Amino acid sequence: MSLTMMAMRIAAVEALKAGGTLVGENVLDSQISAIDQTVDGGLRTDQKRPFIAVYSDAAKASDLGRTGLRANGQVELTFNCGVSLTMGQTDKVSGVTEIIEGLPATDAQFEAILDIVGCQICRVLSDPDNPWAQIFGSFGQVISKAQIRSSNVAESVRLACGQLKLIVDAYADPPLGQEFSEGSHWPSFMALMADHDIEQLGLFQQLLGQPTETPYPNLEALTGMTSRDATSLRVYSFDSVPAVSVLSELSVEVDQN
């Protein structure tokens, strides 16, 4: 529900795709049906092999005095991972069903896969050699982590799934037309999107806008204050010099009297 939340989610998805986890490139962005609840309260999935699905579930911000409604505050990122018996392949010689090569479809191995994938998610997102992971980390600071596990057996289909929740203290969204310094996280994110042909690139280009040249920062957009408040506080007043004026040369005169 914000540019930063969407950017963090995309960066996390691409980092995990490139990170060599057990699920390979089967990393999903906000796919609702990855793990669904049945009418009788059970769990089901539409996936044919082990997966990770990434969601930005919620965010809460307070103390908006500096950033106004651009603030993101603490963002909850959820990583759902799951595996079921239907994702297995049966060896014709031994008759053993393997859900991932070398791992037979047993309760213990279901649990092991969830543990391994959870560990891999954390390793990938902090990998200094993964450019997407570095971009993910530049949008905020992870301040807490929680893990949940659930399972379901229905119609002889065993499904085990785990959930990793990260709380990220995320930076505020940039105002429209903000000029970014070279090498900062937004230009770096956009460059990575262009290099990897990410389909949301055009959307971000539109929502970030083109840098606008103004003599002074737009404090209303930066802080969320109204124009009336800005006028009352005289934030653009310089001893009766209009705000649109550009000061190019300054001189100092000392009154000797």
pLDDT for 221-245, tens place per residue?
777 777 777 777 776 655 555 555 6
pLDDT tens figures, 100-115: 655 445 577 878 888 9
Q: Are 15 and 136 in contact (CB under 8 A)?
A: yes
> What percent of the chain shows pLDDT beyond 70?
72
| Average pLDDT, rounded, for the chain | 81
Burial class from Cβ neighbours inside 10 Å (0-12, 13-18, 19+) for residue 86 reads middle
Q: Domains in the chain and their CATH numbers?
A: 3-173 (3.30.70.1700), 214-257 (no CATH)
Amino acid at 4: T
Q: Are 75 and 167 in contact (CB under 8 A)?
A: yes
Residue 167 above 80 pLDDT?
yes
| Alpha-helix residue ranges (DSSP H) falling in the chain | 3-18, 107-125, 131-138, 185-195, 201-208, 219-223, 227-232
With 0.75 as the threshold, say if the pTM is over it.
yes
Residue 39 above 60 pLDDT?
no
| Alpha-helix residue ranges (DSSP H) falling in 126-166 | 131-138
